[in-house]
Amino acid sequence: MTVDDAAPGRAYEAPSEDGIFGMEPLIGRPKVYAHRGSSAAFAEHTRAAYLRALADGADGVECDVHLTRDQHVVLLHDANLDRTSNGTGPVGERSLAELRELDFSSWKGVRIPDAYGAISEQFLTLPELIDILRGAGREIGLAIEFKHPSPYQLKLEDRVLALLTERGWTPEESRLDNIQISFMSFNPDSVHHLLQVVPAEHICQLVDDVNVQEVRQELGLGALTGSAVANVMRQAQLEGEELLDESKVGIAGPGITYVRRHALKVQRWMESGRRFRVWTVDSEADVALCQGLGVHEITTNKPAQVLAQLATQ
């Protein structure tokens, strides 16, 4: 059975190295989260990307957070500035004021409509994203990913929770006005730390397979250092899988490639009642696969395209 053969809303049998399985159908369509905003359209994590995500009708948005030198929570994926700005060096060594002097959008090569703000307004802190979402005029999800390793270790989590609490967030419901908030990390230490405050239903353990070559290339590391880092990441992956095996968290967050490769493991987690949030799902085939499996939430760079596909199924 192929993705194209699967009827909308029906179980899909996905082959993998682990075997073959079928899932119960999902009632209704999956929720669609915009990955770093509508990041196929505009530079990731920018004001334009998030405003576009709201305009696209996304059910929620995802963001990655780091701490600055002066302990502000800012939205960036990488620990270094080089890829997504005209700056260089570690994010954690810059103050918020210094980061605001940089250009975080021009690298994308896309003109930003006036309604989405000037180039100087594209860089966002977490409080600024919350203000954008508060103005959505509807219910919206916010998935916050804690990026590790962080030079500030678990102070990152503490600062985010304190910031949210100051604005009226309560851990039991994990809501802030119209915003339903969940927390994510690949790092099991981060997840354990969050579980001391936040109910498990609002916490997502992210998992993915670790490829040594990809780690070396992404982080610009040599063979020995890259292998050492990959081994640490593999250990974190195993610990994260154990958290899901033991139902310690309420949300499973595998990558789409992981879903294909580990069918039986995914089936076991889903049958144990985990909510599934799969990333990064951009192709029509992957959207159909997720819907057929009964995945609850899809994270995508292209929310408008995914929503349009789901509307026809």
Rg (CA), the chain: 19
Q: Of 21, 62, 43, which is closest to residue 300 (Cα–Cα)? A: 62
Give the domain ranges of the chain: 14-311
Which pTM value belongs to this model?
Answer: 0.90
In the predicted structure, residue 198 carries a pLDDT above the cut 80: yes
Phi-psi category of residue 247: left, alpha or beta, with phi > 0 → left and psi -120 to 50 → alpha: left
The 10 Å CB-count burial string (b at 16+, else e) for 199-238 is: eeebbbbbbbebebeebbeeeebeeeebeebbeebeebbe
Q: Looking at residues 188-209, what average pLDDT do you find?
A: 97
Q: Looking at residues 226-245, what average pLDDT do you find?
A: 88
Q: How far apart are CA 300 and CA 40, in angstroms?
A: 9
Those residues whose C-beta lies under 8 Å from the C-beta of residue 309, and which sit 6 or more positions away, are 284, 287, 288
- Could you please state the CATH topology (level 3) that the domain comprising 14-311 is classified under: TIM Barrel (3.20.20)
Q: How far apart are CA 275 and CA 254, in angstroms?
A: 11
Determine contact, residues 271/290, Cβ cutoff 8 Å.
Answer: no
Q: According to the model, what pLDDT value does residue 11 have?
A: 35
Residue 15 or residue 208, greater confidence:
208
Structure-block tokens of residue 75:
């939205």
The pLDDT confidence band at residue 102, using thresholds 50, 70 and 90, is very high
35 is catalytic: yes
Those residues whose C-beta lies under 8 Å from the C-beta of residue 184, and which sit 6 or more positions away, are 62, 143, 144, 145, 146, 203, 204, 205, 206, 251, 253, 277
Three-state SS letters, the chain: CCCCCCCCCCCCCEEECCEEECCCCCCCCCEEEEECCCCCCCCCCCHHHHHHHHHHCCCEEEEEEEECCCCCEEECCCCECCCCCCCCCEHHHCCHHHHHCCCCCHHHCCCCCHHHCCHHHCCCEHHHHHHHHHCCCCCEEEEEEECCCCCCCCHHHHHHHHHHHHCCCECCCCEECCEEEEEEECCHHHHHHHHCCCCHHHEEEEECCCCHHHHHHHHCCCHHHHHHHHHHHHHHHHHHHHHHHCCCCCEEEEEHHHHHHCHHHHHHHHHCCCEEEEECCCCHHHHHHHHHHCCCEEEECCHHHHHHHHHCC
Q: According to the model, what pLDDT value does residue 27 have?
A: 59
Q: Looking at residues 224-238, what average pLDDT do you find?
A: 82
The pLDDT confidence band at residue 228, using thresholds 50, 70 and 90, is confident
- Over residues 266-278, the pLDDT tens digits come to 999 999 999 999 9
Q: Of 273, 277, 259, 301, which is closest to residue 3 (Cα–Cα)? A: 259
In the predicted structure, residue 154 carries a pLDDT above the cut 70: yes
Residue of 45, 66, 72, 77 marked active site: 77
In the predicted structure, residue 20 carries a pLDDT above the cut 70: no
Residue 17 or residue 58, greater confidence:
58
The pLDDT confidence band at residue 233, using thresholds 50, 70 and 90, is confident
Q: According to the model, what pLDDT value does residue 53 have?
A: 98
In the predicted structure, residue 200 carries a pLDDT above the cut 90: yes
Determine contact, residues 52/38, Cβ cutoff 8 Å.
Answer: yes
Q: According to the model, what pLDDT value does residue 236 have?
A: 92
- Over residues 22-75, the pLDDT tens digits come to 334 455 899 999 999 999 999 999 999 999 999 999 999 999 999 999 999 999
Q: According to the model, what pLDDT value does residue 18 have?
A: 38
